[in-house]
Every structure is written in structure tokens, then in C-alpha cells.
Amino acid sequence: MPVPVVIGKVGIWSLELRFGDPEQSNDAAAELDELGYGALWVPGGIDSGAPTDVKRLLGATKRTTIATGILNVWKHRPEEIAEWFKGLDESEQERTLLGIGVSHGPIIGEKWAKPLSVMRRFVDGLEAAGMPRENLCLAALGPKMTALSGERSTGAHPYLVTPEHTAEAREILGPGKLLAPEQGVILETDRAKARELALGALENYRQLPNYRNNWKRLGFSEDEIEACSDRLLDSLFAIGDVDAVAERVQAHLDAGADHVCLQAIGGPRGASFETLMPQWRRIAEALL
């Protein structure tokens, strides 16, 4: 009988693990595994190649779960994903969590349709093809998608959210469902440098209606979003030293999160592993 995937309380979300040099990525993943991170999350929203990299990272690690944040429903067929999963060894399946998302209208273009309907159809296809819901979670920002994630998968993986959003999501999901928010981290005590990194990280995301609407639901005004106010940046990113990171992780856990995916922000196009590994080690020393 399928059982929920074990991911611990803290994981790493990293575009570099997916798009960086594969050998360096594998070495980094192996060390993150040894450091004790419960899950390594990689993006898949812009293409269809994430399953290949999930398989690669499974081979580079021994204990940690490899998760996607996200597989884009417009880039895959449900039966293809289910067959790929069935092709994994049982020990690999036990460490695989597929976050599924509907992406964004401006990215998808004229094919875009109602997100809830699209997601329901995709999950229907996954279930029909034999994909266990215990190995699925849904990218969810709004209350309806959050509710669907609890009904049709193991839980929700929200992105660019606050502890206040986590509390609202937990209320919708109720007990017993996975809630694994992504949390951006900027380990920089120079305020000007930190703001520059945060602005770069939000450069593309703040143009997308899904995120803007979610931030408005959380109480941010259109002017605050347009200007990327300090209040918005401080709410979306844990900025400062490792104590600030630990405080933000605890805020999510206190609000009802089961797991927090930490994304070290190195710039809009990522950072080198030489930059990231020391940060990941410092975070592990403080939190794991």
C-alpha cells in the first residue's frame, strides 16, 4: 500500500541543481543529502526535461527525497509521467515527490484555460494511468487550488508566499495533508545588496497575475507590488543572517507547514555552486 513520501522539515529548492553543470550538481546533491536535508526541489516549469534530472539526482543521493516544483501540466502528458514513475526502482519511487502546476497565462499563451479545470483533468489522467497520489502534490496559491491539492494529492507546494499564507493554507487543507511552502533566502546583511538580490529574484514573477493576485489577497496593495516595497520584500524573503532564516522557517512551521523549501537567492539567473554550498552548509548547521 503506498505511503506518503518522507521529506523532513527542511529542504533545498534550487534551479542550479537542475540547470547547473551536472557533475557539480550531483556532487552538491550528495553533500546536501549527507548534511541531512529532507528534500531537494528542482524546477520544471519552462520545459519537459525535469524527470530526467530527477532520475539523475536520485542516483546522486541516498536518503533525501527529490521533488519537483513544478512539472508544468502544459509540457507533459499524464500517462507519460505515470509511466516514467513506474519505471523507477521501488527505492527511488519512495524518494520521489512530483509537484504539479498549471503555470501562468502569459507564459502559456492562447492555449491557457481555467486552472482548476486543467488541473483536475491532468490529475484524472495521472490516476487513470496508475500514478499514486501519495507521490503527488499541487502548486497552490489560491484557496480553490489549495483545497483541490488536499482532495486529489498528498498536499500543497506554494511558491513565493508568507507565513500568513501558510496559516491560511493549513486552515483550508486541515490536518494530515502535506504543506510545503518555498521560502526565498537572502544571506546578506547589507540592506542595499539584499534589496538588489530580492528585486532580481522578483523581476519576472511580479509580472505574473497568479502571484500578484495572491499578494493582494495577503494584503499588499498594487502600489506596493509595483514598487516592490520593503514590506513586500521582507515578507517574501528571509533576509539577513542564518538566525533570520531560522526565525522564518519556524514562523512557517508554527503556521502549519510540515516542510519548508529554502531557496538561496544568488541572482535572477542563479548562482555558482561555489557561492551556494557555503550558504547551504551554514543553514544546515543552524537548522538540521
Res 1 pLDDT > 60: no
pLDDT at res. 46: 87
- Check: pTM over 0.85? Answer yes or no: yes
Q: In angstroms, rounded to a whole number, what is the distance separating the alpha carbons of residues 73 and 75?
A: 5
Own/partner contacts of 16-24, CB < 8 Å, gap of 24 or more, are 16/266, 16/270, 16/271, 16/272, 16/273, 16/276, 17/42, 17/53, 17/57, 18/42, 18/43, 18/44, 18/50, 18/53, 19/270, 20/270, 20/272, 20/273, 21/273, 22/56, 24/273
Give the distance from CA 254 to its chain's centroid: 19
Contacts with 287 (C-beta within 8 Å, 6 or more apart), sequence order: 10, 242, 245, 246, 249
What are the domain boundaries of the chain? 10-287
Q: What is the pLDDT of residues 97-155, one digit of tens each?
A: 999 999 886 777 777 779 999 999 999 999 999 999 999 999 999 999 999 999 999 99
Q: What is the pLDDT of residues 186-232, one digit of tens each?
A: 999 999 999 999 999 999 899 999 999 999 999 999 999 999 999 99
Nearest to 50 by CA among 78, 88, 95, 19: 19
3-state secondary structure (DSSP) of residue 249: helix
Q: Which residues of 72-104 are buried (b: 16+ CB within 10 A; e: fewer)?
A: bbbbbebeebbebbeebeeeebebbbbbbbbbb
pLDDT at res. 103: 84
CATH 3.20.20.30 at 10-287, yes or no: yes
Q: What is the pLDDT of residues 50-98, one digit of tens each?
A: 999 999 999 999 999 999 999 999 999 999 999 999 999 999 999 999 9
Kindly state the average pLDDT of the residues 280-288.
98
Contacts with 161 (C-beta within 8 Å, 6 or more apart), sequence order: 141, 169, 181, 182, 214, 218, 236
Res 10 pLDDT > 70: yes
Contacts with 90 (C-beta within 8 Å, 6 or more apart), sequence order: none
Contacts with 191 (C-beta within 8 Å, 6 or more apart), sequence order: none
